[in-house]
Amino acid sequence: MPNEPTPPTPTPTPPKPNRERGIANRDYLDEVAISRKVAAAATDPAHTGPLAAVEFDTTLPSQINALAGTIEADIGKLTGERAGKETMTEQEKTARDALMAVLQPIQTAAKRKFIGETQKLREAYYTGAGLSNGTLDEVLTASRSVLARLSPGENNAPPQDVLPGITAVGRIKELADAIDTYGGKDQAQGEKQTEAGKLLEAIKANVPKLAKLRRQVQLAADQAWPWRTPGVATIRKAFLLSPDRPMKD
C-alpha cells in the first residue's frame, strides 16, 4: 500500500503585537507621521501654485515639521528612560498592582464626571491607557500627574479638578500615600519621575497642536482641489484627503 503523503504542518498564527501603550503611544507616532506627509505635500512645487491661489499660509509646513521634531525628540527621551524596564521584578509588579488599586477608583470617578463634550478630559486620568499592564514607572508617572490635578495649587488655589466621591482626606490622601510608599524615597528617582511626567505632559499637549496645524493644511488643499473637480483624486490623496468627499470639520 503506497505511503500516504504527510499533511503539511500548519503554520502557527503569529501573535498580534501588543498595542504600544503609555509613553510612546502609537496614536502620537501616527499623528507625527501623517502630519509630516501632509507638510511634504504642501511644499511640493507642483502644489504651491493652487495653494497660493487660496491664500495658503506657507509657514504651516515648517511649523508642522518643527513641532513634529519636538514631539519625536520627547518620545525618544522617554523611550530611552524606559529601556531595560520592560521586565519587572515580582516586587515591582506587586507595587504596580497595589498602586493601581488606589488609582482605579479615581479613574472611575473621572469617567462619571467627564461625559459628552468633556469626555476627552478622561485622558488626563489615563483611562483606557492600559496602565494595568504597564511598568511601575509608568503607573507612578500617571499617578503623580493625577494627584497634581486633584491637589490645591499655589497659595491654596482650588485644584484643577474636583471628582465625585474623591476627597482630600479619602482617595486623594490614599493616592499620595501610595506614591510615597511605592515611589521610594530616593530623590534622584523622584526627579527622574518628575522629568518624565513633564515630558509626557508636553507630548500630550503638543500632539493636538500638531493635528490642528495639519488640518489647516488639509483644509486649504480641500479648497484648492475640490473633490468634485475631475482629475484631482491623486492630489487629494497626497494630502491624505478622501477623493470622493469633502474634509470633515
- Got the DSSP string for 48-78? HHHHHHTT--TTHHHHHHHHHHHHHHHHHHH
Angle between helices 60-82 and 136-150 (to 10 degrees): 120
Which pLDDT belongs to residue 193? 62
CA 149 from chain center: how many Å? 18
What would the pLDDT profile of 23-65 be if each residue is shown by its tens digit? 457 889 899 999 999 999 999 999 999 999 999 999 999 999 9
Q: What is the pLDDT of residue 8?
A: 47
In the predicted model, is pLDDT for residue 191 greater than 80?
no
User: Burial letters for 71-93: b for 16+ Cβ neighbours within 10 Å, e otherwise?
Assistant: bbebbeebeebbeeeeeeeeebe
Residue 235: the pLDDT is 97
SS3 215: helix
- Among 83-92, 142-151, 198-207, which stretch is predicted with the lowest mean pLDDT? 83-92
The answer, as to whether pTM is greater than 0.85, is no
Instruction: For the beta carbon of residue 223, count every other beta carbon within 10 angstroms.
Output: 16
**Residue 125: its pLDDT value, please?**
93
Q: Which cell goes with 129?
A: 491607557
| pLDDT at residue 51, as a whole number | 97
Each residue's pLDDT tens digit, 57-106: 999 999 999 999 999 988 888 776 555 444 567 888 888 899 999 999 99
Cβ atoms 44, 221 nearer than 8 A: no
Give me the pLDDT at residue 24, please. Answer: 55
Cell of 192: 527622574
Query: What is the Cα 132 distance to its own chain's centre?
Result: 17
Query: Which stretch of 50-64, 104-118, 131-145 has the lowest confidence by average pLDDT?
Result: 131-145
Mean pLDDT of 144-170: 90
**pLDDT above 80: residue 197:** no
